[in-house]
Amino acid sequence: MISNILFDMILYSTPIILCVIGGNFAYKANVLNIALEGMMLSGAFVSMFIVYFTGNIPLAVAGALVSGLLLGLLFSFLGITCKGNVIVIGLGINMMVSGIAAFVLRLMNSSNIYVKTINVSIFKVNIPLIENIPFIGKIISGHTVITYLSFFLIFVVWLLMYRTKLGIYVRTVGEDEDAAKSVGINTDFYKYMAVLIGALFSALAGVNLAMENLMLFTNNMTAGRGFIAIAAIYCGQGRPVTSSLFAIIFGLAWALSVDLSTYAGSASGLFNVVPYVLMTVVLAVVSIYRYKNNKMRGYKFE
DSSP 16-80: HHHHHHHHHHHHHTT---TTHHHHHHHHHHHHHHHHHHH--HHHHHHHHHHHHHHHHHHHHIIII
Q: What are the distances in angstroms from CA 84 to CA 71, 81, 89, 101, 258?
A: 15, 8, 7, 25, 39
Find the radius of gyration of the CA atoms of the chain: 20
**Distance of alpha carbon 248 from its chain centroid, rounded?**
12
* Average pLDDT by stretches of 10, the chain with 302 residues: 88 95 94 94 96 95 97 96 94 96 95 92 89 88 94 95 93 93 93 96 96 93 92 92 93 85 65 79 80 56 44
**What residues does 218 pair with on adjacent strands?**
112
- Nearest Cα neighbor of 158 from 244, 246, 44, 255 is 244
Q: What residues does each domain of the chain span?
A: 2-117+130-291
Work out whether the CA dihedral 55, 56, 57, 60 comes out positive or negative.
negative
**Distance of alpha carbon 276 from its chain centroid, rounded?**
15
Report the predicted TM-score, pTM, of the whole model to 2 decimal places: 0.91
To the question of domain 2-117+130-291 being in CATH 1.10.405, the answer is no
Predicted confidence at residue 177, as pLDDT, reads: 92
Predicted confidence at residue 265, as pLDDT, reads: 61
Predicted confidence at residue 293, as pLDDT, reads: 61
**What residues does 58 pair with on adjacent strands?**
none
Helix (H, G, I), strand (E, B) or coil at 262: coil
